[in-house]
Amino acid sequence: MAKQKHTNISEKTSLEAQAVAKGIQRPGQTKEQSKLIAQGIEKGIDLYKKQQKAKARELDKALKKAKQGPELSALDVENIPRV
């Protein structure tokens, strides 16, 4: 059986999703339908935020590696045994 992840969606994200769902609400749409739309929007916002955080982490790693790169390579060149 696959494990289900329990994600805690922030209150701010939930409010944003509800506002968007109310903004695109059609006449005759039930509250249940609006609630389902809001849940879908919440998931989309949450996924977007996760992707942006992952991109930021990768960028930070790349910047850190680029910053340390020349220092490490200079040390490695000095420590190479001569034949």
Q: Any idea where the domains of the chain sit in the sequence?
A: 31-83
Tokens matching residue 34 = 């609006």
Residues of the chain short of pLDDT 70, as ranges, are: 1-7, 69-83
pTM: 0.64
* DSSP state for residue 4 in the 8-state scheme: P
| Token couple for 48 | 């977007």
For the chain, the farthest-separated pair of C-alpha atoms sits apart, in whole angstroms, at: 84
